Amino acid sequence: MKRVERKLSFIKSTILKSILYFTKIFILQLMFIAVRYVWSSNNQMQLFEDLLYNYNKISRPVRNASEILTIKFGASLIRIIDVDEKNQMLTTNLWLDMEWPDSKLVWDPDMYGGIKKLHIPADLLWTPDIVLYNNAAGDPEITIFNDALVYYDGTVVWKPPAIYKSFCSIDVTWFPYDSQNCLMKFGLWSYFGAFVDMRQLPEELVKEVVTDEKTVHVLEVGMDLSYFYKSAEWDLLSLTSERHEQIYSSCCGKEKYVDITFYFSLRRKTLFYTVNLIIPCFLISFATTLVFYLSDHKITFSISILVTLTVFFLVILFHQSINFSIYCSCLLLPGINRNYPADEFGNSNVWSIFAVHDGLGHFEHNHQRHNGELALPPRLHSRDAAVDASCIPAHVAQVCK
């Protein structure tokens, strides 16, 4: 019994010692992490204060006034929100991507606990005044100033989100089998190329193309499409970007301003329109030819087809999410709309043929009922002159008198 008690007491003491040992280690680790966090936090605070104490965000962040500041500019296309045919606008959701060197934001990581990058609010730093030149509505400049990522060598990376509405010339001639070409032109508003330059991202994929004695930098994939949500109405065929240098002599002298233009090629998805618009209209119009096989009620059947087609158009346009605004354009008419008056004219001619055919049928029917003698129309019963001028047989004229 004594041996068993000794073993149990030994086990208990060993367990207690182990618990105390690991508890001490855990407490020491927590203290080390806390001290390290406080030390790192102090380093970040000190670095933040040192960088922005005498920082001036108005002037260009260059060492020499004659130095050209180069901004690398790109974007990620997130979504094509809307293509407004009536107002000629393209609405897109973009994540802009900008990168430039800032000589005022350079530090030695060894002096600040190995910190190599720091998040700084963009509204506290110098930022390029890049605007959308062909802005249609809203703010052409960047309005969301999120944090910029600053590296120890002075490189500033800023990726603000934005929703833009740009002008786009919409051609609906071949609606609903149409394709559209739109562009978005970004450039600096205040600085011309001698002070601030713009380059495309990613820079290693840019190609130089010489056109009309001008060198254009072309990027085949103009925007990053990694996070692109496909549109329910439009297919994105291509998206390229080009860098241009342009002189605006009417307002800005002979200085060259740099811009980066993105070119969108869009094609409308036609399955919905084909199934819900084209095929039903074709079948309804084709039903008009069946009138020739009817003995009676030809005109009634034709008018019923017209009413059906009209009501179908209204239901489709107003209740099936087809953008009715394309029919309100004063510049171009869609082919289906231009052909619609011709269809109406054709239907009118068909109705005229049916009316003549029906009239001839009644004429033949009356002719047979009177044994080859025609019944006089009622409007000729009133005057003898009309009877004489009509060359009607005498016994018929006597009855009329």
CA separation (Å) from 153 to 101, 136, 362?
Answer: 8, 39, 98
Could you give the CA distance from residue 32 to residue 381 in angstroms, rounded to a whole number?
121
pTM equals 0.71
Beta strands in 10-88 (DSSP E): 69-84
pLDDT, tens digit only, all 401 positions of the chain = 666 666 667 677 777 777 777 676 777 666 656 555 544 458 888 999 999 998 999 999 999 988 999 999 999 999 999 999 888 999 999 999 999 999 999 999 999 988 999 999 999 999 999 999 999 988 888 888 999 999 999 999 999 999 999 999 998 888 889 999 999 999 999 998 889 999 999 888 899 888 777 888 999 999 999 999 999 999 999 999 999 998 888 777 788 999 999 999 999 999 888 887 788 888 887 887 777 777 777 778 878 888 888 887 777 666 544 454 544 444 455 555 555 444 444 444 444 454 445 544 544 555 555 555 544 444 444 444 444 444 444 444 444 44
- Nearest one of 271, 281, 277, 205 to 243, comparing CA atoms: 205
Could you give the CA distance from residue 47 to residue 58 in angstroms, rounded to a whole number?
21
CA 155 to chain centre: 33
Q: Residue 16 has which token pair?
A: 């207690």
Coil, helix or strand for 146?
coil
